[in-house]
């Protein structure tokens, strides 16, 4: 069913209970594609849903209005998880599309748009729909060049598109109904918005100028009771601030690389550092990146395989490289047989990310580390904690 957010404003999105992968990372809690309907003198639909959930989406709209009577469709962002039902709803409604110039360009590259009529808006522009005046603010690169947000001052609602989202499939619609919302928002930020974090403070500053009772993102739940908290968290996520935490990430063939990583972890723990240890092949990469977001130390381990990295480690490094986390103190470790090469590849990624690399002879081991070697690794962890 449609959910009433305020008088004349409804959530009409779709819930993706079964999705477990999005943009290359695991979505263990599913997701939702949030679309919003405003019933005024003009009927306005804000964003759509993934096309395979069109029937669910269409059914919710019909609970409120005749879809043929939709006057305007606001496209805040063209990515297909928000726009791939647009062609179908346009065939039914013949609505005008309200969007920005860059989004119009993207729509024309995605769909057959020759018969579509547009109202092109820029930051600060408003469109009157009766009792309401919808205002638009462009937010380029959060996280595509076409992104914008829509604000209804009369309702005090910000339709924020991908900003402030989370991947949660739930029958609940509001933040106060789910107790893991902020954790999901952190993971979402780390895996979607992290490369563009320098733009976040201005985005939050823009939100601060708006009187908001609700922030309605395009994924997950709606912020109502924790608006101040999520804004505060976004500034925290976007900062270069770290806590005294080490994230140790590795994969292993015959446990040698694992033994080195666990010995280093023991030394760090003894020195009072919070430690998270992840075997890549057993852990969703999205979870690892969320932990790296505020970590002071990042240690990556791999055995040398065919003079190269272990495949899961290579995949992780390339994923992390694309997300560009803030500067860390880093170390590469691993085992080898006749030629050590894995740590060279790991350090190359550290260099690309401008991490401060720390070296030590104990960080590599030929075949199997003995007790003396592991003691040196433990001592290295203690030394690292003092940096």
Query: Are β-strands 157-161 and 148-152 bridged in parallel, bridged antiparallel, or unpaired?
Result: antiparallel
Question: Residue 41 catalytic?
Answer: no
- Out of 82, 106, 167, 219, pick the active-site residue: 219
The secondary structure of residue 233, as a DSSP letter, is H
Tell the CATH topology of 243-385: Rossmann fold (3.40.50)
Question: Residue 81 catalytic?
Answer: yes
**109, 111, 113, 117 alpha-carbon torsion, rounded to 10°:** -90
Tokens 């994923």 locate to: 319
Question: Residue 188 catalytic?
Answer: yes
How many angstroms separate the Cα of 386 from the Cα of each of 238, 258, 270, 379?
Answer: 26, 23, 12, 11
The secondary structure of residue 284, as a DSSP letter, is -
Q: Is 153 exposed, middle or buried (0-12, 13-18, 19+ CB in 10 A)?
A: middle
Structure tokens at 56: 């669910």
Residue 371 has pLDDT above 90, yes or no: yes
CA–CA separation, 328 and 249 (whole Å): 14
- Out of 40, 47, 81, 258, pick the active-site residue: 81
The secondary structure of residue 327, as a DSSP letter, is P
pTM (2 decimals)? 0.94
Task: Read off the pLDDT band of 24 (50, 70, 90).
Answer: confident
Question: Residue 143 catalytic?
Answer: yes
pLDDT in tens, 298-309: 999 999 999 999
pLDDT given at position 4:
98
Question: Residue 162 catalytic?
Answer: yes
pLDDT given at position 23:
81
Question: Residue 110 catalytic?
Answer: no
Residue 384 has pLDDT above 90, yes or no: yes
CATH of domain 3-238: 3.60.15.10
Structure tokens at 214: 């609700």
Query: How many secondary structure helices (H) and strands (E) does the chain include?
Result: 12, 22
Domains 3-238 and 243-385 equal at CATH topology level? no
CA–CA separation, 267 and 382 (whole Å): 5
Residue 25 has pLDDT above 90, yes or no: no
Three-class SS state of 35: coil
- Out of 36, 188, 196, 336, pick the active-site residue: 188
Q: Please state, rounded to an integer, the average pLDDT across all residues of the chain.
A: 96
Question: Residue 77 catalytic?
Answer: yes
- Out of 10, 33, 82, 143, pick the active-site residue: 143
Tokens 């990295």 locate to: 309
Q: Is the torsion defined by CA of 164, 168, 169, 175 positive or negative?
A: negative
Structure tokens at 290: 């969320």
- Out of 16, 40, 47, 79, pick the active-site residue: 79
Domains of the chain, by residue range, sit at: 3-238, 243-385
pLDDT in tens, 30-87: 999 999 999 999 999 999 999 999 999 999 999 999 999 999 999 999 999 999 999 9
């Amino acid at each position: 069913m449609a959910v009433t957010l305020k008088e004349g404003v409804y959530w009409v999105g779709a819930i993706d209970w079964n999705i477990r992968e999005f943009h290359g990372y695991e979505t263990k809690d599913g997701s939702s594609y949030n679309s919003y309907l405003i019933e005024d003198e003009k009927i306005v639909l804000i964003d759509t849903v993934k096309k395979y959930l069109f029937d669910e989406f269409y059914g919710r709209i019909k609970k409120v209005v005749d879809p043929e009577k939709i006057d305007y469709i606001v496209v805040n962002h063209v990515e297909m998880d928000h726009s791939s039902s647009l062609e179908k709803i346009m065939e039914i409604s013949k609505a005008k599309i309200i969007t920005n110039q860059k989004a119009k360009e993207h729509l024309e590259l995605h769909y057959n748009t020759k018969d579509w009529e547009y109202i092109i808006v820029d930051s600060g522009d408003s469109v009157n729909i009766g009792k309401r005046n919808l205002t638009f603010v462009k937010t380029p690169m959060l996280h595509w060049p076409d992104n914008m947000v829509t604000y209804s001052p009369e309702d005090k609602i910000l339709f924020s598109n991908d900003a402030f989202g989370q991947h949660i499939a739930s029958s609940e619609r509001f933040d106060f109904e789910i107790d893991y919302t902020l954790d999901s928002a952190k993971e979402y930020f780390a895996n979607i918005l992290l490369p563009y974090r320098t733009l976040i403070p201005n985005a939050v500053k823009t939100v601060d100028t708006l009187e908001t009772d609700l922030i309605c993102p395009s994924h997950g739940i709606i912020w109502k009771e924790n608006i101040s908290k999520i804004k505060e968290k976004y500034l925290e996520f976007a900062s270069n601030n770290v806590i005294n935490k080490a994230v140790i990430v590795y994969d292993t063939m015959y446990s040698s690389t694992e033994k080195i990583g666990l010995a280093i972890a023991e030394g760090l723990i003894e020195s009072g550092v919070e430690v998270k240890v992840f075997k890549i092949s057993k852990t969703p990469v999205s979870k690892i990146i969320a932990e790296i977001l505020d970590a002071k130390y990042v240690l990556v381990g791999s055995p040398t395989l065919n003079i190269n990295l272990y495949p899961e480690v290579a995949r992780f490094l390339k994923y992390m490289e694309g997300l560009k986390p803030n500067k860390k103190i880093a170390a590469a470790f691993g085992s080898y047989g006749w030629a050590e090469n894995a740590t060279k590849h790991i350090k190359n990624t550290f260099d690309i990310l401008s991490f401060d690399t720390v070296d030590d002879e104990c960080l590599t081991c030929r075949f199997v580390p003995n007790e003396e070697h592991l003691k040196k690794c433990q001592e290295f962890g203690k030394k690292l904690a003092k940096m």
